[in-house]
Amino acid sequence: MKNNTNKINKFNLKKMSIKSYALSFIFFYILVFSISSFFAFIDILKLNDEIIETNRSSGKAELIEAINQLVNNHEIMVKEFSTWDEVRQQIDTPEHYPYWQTHRLLKAGKLPDAFIEASLYEKSGKILNKISTSTLPENIDTNKTNSYFNIINNTIQLVIISPVLKSKISKTSENAHSIVGYVATKSTIFSQLKRVKQFNHIVADSIKLEIHKKNHIEVEQLINFLTFNIKENTEIIIISSQIQQILLKNTLVLITFALMFYFLISYFLSRPLHQMSAYIDTLENQAELQPGPDLDLQFHIHELEKVKLSLRDYQKKLQTVYSNLDEKNQELWNMAHHDALTGALNRRAFEEHWANIATLFSDSRCPVSLILFDINQFKSINDSYGHPVGDEVLKKIASAIQRVLRQGEKIYRIGGDEFSTILYNCKPEEAIRIASRCQTAISEISFTDENIKEPIRASIGVAHNDAHKPTSTSDLLWQADIAVYSAKKPGQSHIVTYSEKIKSISSTILSTKINNLVFDAIETGNNIHMFYQPIINLMNDKTDYYEALLRIKDNGEIIAPGKIFQLIEAKKLDYELDKVIFKQIANDLQQGNIPDKTGVSINVSGPSIIHPEIIEQLSIFSPYLKEYKIVLEITETSLITNIDQATENINKLKQIGFLIALDDFGSGYSSISYLSTMPVDIVKFDISLIRQLEDDKQFSIIHHLANMIGETGHLLVAEGIETKELKDKIKHLGFNYAQGYLYGRPSPLTKLQ
């Protein structure tokens, strides 16, 4: 608990306090407000600039309007001036023009004072008289008489050219409105420009020229050379000022609110929470609740006071739980380390115990023996009698083994039908004696209540770690596993001690490559190839049918069948592999790959012949029973394992139309008495028995054996016929069929055709 508390405290040091969160919130809020205020202020400035720009555009339009109005006024005055009789007279009779120009032209009051200069021109555009002080042009382009401006010495001068027409009295004549000459005037407009109209946007006195001198400026271009100031928009100034004041006030309110918020958080939340944290620490550090100032602390916040009372009640209940915790922990440990069905220790307990054994052995080098028990054909018991019966079998076997073990030694259930025990300071001889006593105890168990008729046995593997020749304790596990597998093989003792002689078995069982190939073949059917070897009828030397033999190929390489079936038996995959083989053979029959008027012999494993679904699996051959001879080869050991179930299934298969052959006769436990009860049609003499025909004594025995079996109506098949001499002997003995290299090796379907 203290370690966990320290970890939690260290973790909490990395967290922020309530005050820190409050400050972070305040700073974040101020930041957001500042950013929003900044963008609002920028928008105000942009709006102000837009208003100023709008006012400037309006002011420019006003100034353009004033210029146009002023030019229009002057043009009207000049046009009116051009109708003056004296002007037409001077153009018609220019003899007195110099005098008239000097004394009458500008002094007669026909033109305002703003006109500083005027001249008359002939119809061709040539000036009548050029005065040295005149700045008007000597010639004018009569095709371009538009008004224009000159800027001279920071003064704007308007030049207006107007045609002079004939007298108005001659209106009826063709030339009444013909041009007789031109008048050109120059006037200053700068002072008039400021007074020509009331400016709403421009400060009139601010109108100024940007340049000091430039000639011939078009009327519409004059605006480009003028500068002016815009009148201040008092409404915008007032609004902008008010907005700035609002922002300032809001900022002050925000700061005040932030300070008040921080104070409230600190006083009403952070401080009570610190007190609550100290209160929890006090509860945690007290084994039993003791009254004191720390526990009598009163909170002003109703929710915190309620939490305090709840914590106190919880602490009281927690102390009650702690008082029973050790007892419960022991009970839970027992539940977690014991098998619920048999009461034996489970695999978890075994692995923990085994880890301790490895440490103990490395320190003291005491001899250790490991015994594994595997119940033979337990899956068949479950399938035949049901799982409740199987559970009772496991319970009785676990109890029997535990009674035999020495004091302090325990039985472990490490798999569905696998048990194990570990023996300390035990010599190999003593370990074998204990294993033998366990085997005897198992064989003496009565299963009459479960209605189990056949005997139940266990295959036992023993592995020993000698203190003088130590091996890794982890090796004992697979050594004992290999020994158990060897104990399951026909003809072997049910108790096998691991030795170097059986070590080669592990190369197949533990080969990753073979494991992967076999498992993939069972799951997908890949790499499975069926080879067929002919079985010859000795009456006519013709092939009567073929035996189907399994081959598994890997990149063109055939895996030895012995390695395949070692793995299949060790992993208890017989039935699963048989199903795949059945499908492959049925496919060959469907494709017509088996020659007509022959048949096929199919090997059926012991676990498969007693399997409750074997009839259904073999039903795929029913369509071919009329055209082909279908023989099911069954080893005698599979019949002995569960003879009642096997006999029942065989009788059903015979009724369907299958022939039954007893395979490997003479290699195991065969006897004439078994043949009298086994429902078989064909007996295949094992190759080991046939090879003994070379011995005269054995020949006589086999001769009589063949005669007896043949007289019971069984057909006889001899395996391993490789020479003509051997063929003649078996034919003489009365064998019906022969199989061997003399007639053909196992071959793929292509060679059968």
Q: Dump pLDDT digits (tens) for 580-605.
A: 999 999 999 999 889 988 999 999 98
Q: According to the model, what pLDDT value does residue 276 have?
A: 67
Q: Are 465 and 371 in contact (CB under 8 A)?
A: no
Task: For Cα atoms 58, 64, 68, give the angle at the middle one, nearest 5 degrees.
Answer: 145
Residues 88 and 170 occupy one common structural domain: yes
Residue 617 lies inside a defined structural domain of this protein: yes
Residue 106 lies inside a defined structural domain of this protein: yes
Q: According to the model, what pLDDT value does residue 102 have?
A: 83
Residues 490 and 465 occupy one common structural domain: yes
Task: Work out the average pLDDT over 328-352.
Answer: 80
Q: According to the model, what pLDDT value does residue 630 have?
A: 95
Residues 200 and 139 occupy one common structural domain: yes
d(CA 745, CA 740): 7
Residues 522 and 580 occupy one common structural domain: yes
CA dihedral 137, 143, 146, 152 (to 10 degrees): -20
Q: Are 402 and 485 in contact (CB under 8 A)?
A: no
- HSE-CB at 66 with a 13 A cutoff on CA atoms is 25
Q: H helices within 572-613, ranges in order?
A: 574-590, 606-609
Collapsing DSSP states into helix, strand and coil, what is residue 363?
A: helix
Pick the closest to residue 527 from 545, 513, 507, 506 (CA basis): 513
Pairing of strands 557-559, 542-554: antiparallel
Q: According to the model, what pLDDT value does residue 399 have?
A: 92
Q: According to the model, what pLDDT value does residue 279 have?
A: 67
DSSP-derived secondary structure letter, 269: I
Residue 298 lies inside a defined structural domain of this protein: no
Pick the closest to residue 21 from 253, 265, 278, 251 (CA basis): 265
Per-residue pLDDT tens over the stretch 510-528: 455 667 777 777 888 788 8
Task: Work out the average pLDDT over 54-62.
Answer: 85
Task: For Cα atoms 486, 488, 489, give the angle at the middle one, nearest 5 degrees.
Answer: 70
For residue 441, pLDDT beyond 80: yes
Q: Where a domain ends, among 474, 503, 532?
A: 503
Residue 480 lies inside a defined structural domain of this protein: yes
Q: According to the model, what pLDDT value does residue 58 have?
A: 85
For residue 67, pLDDT beyond 60: yes
For the beta carbon of residue 328, count every other beta carbon within 10 angstroms: 10
Per-residue pLDDT tens over the stretch 275-300: 667 767 776 666 555 555 555 666 66
Q: Are 559 and 568 in contact (CB under 8 A)?
A: no
d(CA 713, CA 660): 13
What is the percent of the chain where pLDDT is above 90? 18
| pLDDT bracket for residue 5 (50, 70, 90) | very low
140 vs 173, higher pLDDT: 140
For residue 427, pLDDT beyond 70: yes
Burial classification of residue 599, based on how many CB atoms lie within 10 Å of its CB (0-12 exposed, 13-18 middle, 19 or more buried): buried
Q: According to the model, what pLDDT value does residue 8 have?
A: 44
At 118, which CATH number? 3.30.450.20
Q: Are 484 and 372 in contact (CB under 8 A)?
A: yes
How long is the chain?
A: 753
Residues 560 and 477 occupy one common structural domain: no
Q: According to the model, what pLDDT value does residue 586 have?
A: 94
Burial classification of residue 447, based on how many CB atoms lie within 10 Å of its CB (0-12 exposed, 13-18 middle, 19 or more buried): middle
At 442, which CATH number? 3.30.70.270
Burial classification of residue 142, based on how many CB atoms lie within 10 Å of its CB (0-12 exposed, 13-18 middle, 19 or more buried): middle
d(CA 257, CA 175): 92
Task: Work out the average pLDDT over 640-652.
Answer: 79
**Number of structural domains, the chain?**
3
Q: According to the model, what pLDDT value does residue 560 have?
A: 66
Q: According to the model, what pLDDT value does residue 193 have?
A: 77
Residues 414 and 534 occupy one common structural domain: no
Q: Does an H or E element contain 647, and which? A: helix 643-656
Amino acid at 710: G
Per-residue pLDDT tens over the stretch 257-278: 777 877 777 776 667 777 667 7
Residue 13 lies inside a defined structural domain of this protein: no
Residues 593 and 454 occupy one common structural domain: no
For residue 11, pLDDT beyond 70: no
Among the residue ranges 143-152, 187-196, 220-229, the one predicted with the least confidence is 187-196
d(CA 132, CA 45): 57
For residue 326, pLDDT beyond 70: no
d(CA 285, CA 302): 25
Q: Where a domain ends, among 188, 209, 231?
A: 231
Residues 388 and 493 occupy one common structural domain: yes
Residues 554 and 695 occupy one common structural domain: yes
Q: Where a domain ends, among 456, 476, 503?
A: 503
Q: Are 719 and 752 in contact (CB under 8 A)?
A: no
Collapsing DSSP states into helix, strand and coil, what is residue 345?
A: strand
Residue 613 lies inside a defined structural domain of this protein: yes
For residue 191, pLDDT beyond 80: no
For residue 673, pLDDT beyond 70: no
Q: Does an H or E element contain 204, and which? A: strand 202-209
Q: According to the model, what pLDDT value does residue 1 have?
A: 44
Residue 305 lies inside a defined structural domain of this protein: no
Question: Tokens representing 131?
Answer: 């005065």
| pLDDT bracket for residue 171 (50, 70, 90) | very low
Burial classification of residue 449, based on how many CB atoms lie within 10 Å of its CB (0-12 exposed, 13-18 middle, 19 or more buried): exposed
Q: According to the model, what pLDDT value does residue 168 have?
A: 56
Residues 204 and 55 occupy one common structural domain: yes
| pLDDT bracket for residue 388 (50, 70, 90) | confident
Residues 352 and 473 occupy one common structural domain: yes
d(CA 559, CA 515): 11
Among the residue ranges 47-51, 92-96, 153-157, 185-189, the one predicted with the least confidence is 47-51
**Average of per-residue pLDDT values in the chain:** 80
Among the residue ranges 310-319, 363-372, 586-595, 694-703, the one predicted with the least confidence is 310-319
| pLDDT bracket for residue 190 (50, 70, 90) | confident
d(CA 99, CA 536): 161
d(CA 394, CA 417): 7
323 vs 43, higher pLDDT: 43
The distance between the two most distant Cα atoms of the chain, rounded to a whole number of Å, is: 181
Question: Tokens representing 358?
Answer: 């490895």
DSSP-derived secondary structure letter, 682: E
For residue 128, pLDDT beyond 70: yes
Task: Work out the average pLDDT over 203-223.
Answer: 84
Can you give the residue range of the structural domain that contains 410?
338-503
Q: Are 514 and 552 in contact (CB under 8 A)?
A: no
Per-residue pLDDT tens over the stretch 539-553: 999 999 999 998 888
Q: According to the model, what pLDDT value does residue 104 have?
A: 86
What is the percent of the chain where pLDDT is above 70? 81
Residues 48 and 98 occupy one common structural domain: yes
d(CA 272, CA 308): 11
CA distances from 594 to 40, 531, 617, 687 (A): 95, 11, 20, 25
pTM: 0.44
For the beta carbon of residue 306, count every other beta carbon within 10 angstroms: 11
For residue 717, pLDDT beyond 60: yes
Q: Are 156 and 188 in contact (CB under 8 A)?
A: yes
Most confident range, picked from 19-23, 63-67, 736-740: 736-740
| pLDDT bracket for residue 2 (50, 70, 90) | very low
37 vs 449, higher pLDDT: 449
Task: Work out the average pLDDT over 648-672.
Answer: 81
For the beta carbon of residue 222, count every other beta carbon within 10 angstroms: 23
Per-residue pLDDT tens over the stretch 472-499: 556 777 788 888 877 877 655 688 888 8
For residue 632, pLDDT beyond 90: yes
d(CA 275, CA 269): 10
C-alpha 684, offset from chain centre: 59
Per-residue pLDDT tens over the stretch 85-101: 888 888 888 888 888 88
DSSP per-residue letters across 91-139: HH-GGGHHHHHHHTTTTSSSS-TTEEEEEEEETTSBBS---TT--S-SB
Q: According to the model, what pLDDT value does residue 298 have?
A: 65
Task: Work out the average pLDDT over 62-76.
Answer: 87
Collapsing DSSP states into helix, strand and coil, what is residue 203?
A: strand
| pLDDT bracket for residue 7 (50, 70, 90) | very low
For residue 612, pLDDT beyond 80: yes
Residue 497 lies inside a defined structural domain of this protein: yes
Among the residue ranges 32-41, 466-475, 626-635, 682-691, the one predicted with the least confidence is 466-475
d(CA 351, CA 348): 5
Q: According to the model, what pLDDT value does residue 585 have?
A: 93
Collapsing DSSP states into helix, strand and coil, what is residue 549?
A: strand
Among the residue ranges 103-117, 191-205, 323-337, 386-400, the one predicted with the least confidence is 323-337
Task: For Cα atoms 720, 708, 670, give the angle at the middle one, nearest 5 degrees.
Answer: 60
Burial classification of residue 355, based on how many CB atoms lie within 10 Å of its CB (0-12 exposed, 13-18 middle, 19 or more buried): exposed
C-alpha 366, offset from chain centre: 51
At 719, which CATH number? 3.20.20.450
Using only the alpha carbons of the chain, give its radius of gyration.
62
Q: Which residue has the tokens 């300390």?
A: 424
Burial classification of residue 359, based on how many CB atoms lie within 10 Å of its CB (0-12 exposed, 13-18 middle, 19 or more buried): exposed
| pLDDT bracket for residue 106 (50, 70, 90) | confident
Q: Are 604 and 662 in contact (CB under 8 A)?
A: no
467 vs 18, higher pLDDT: 18
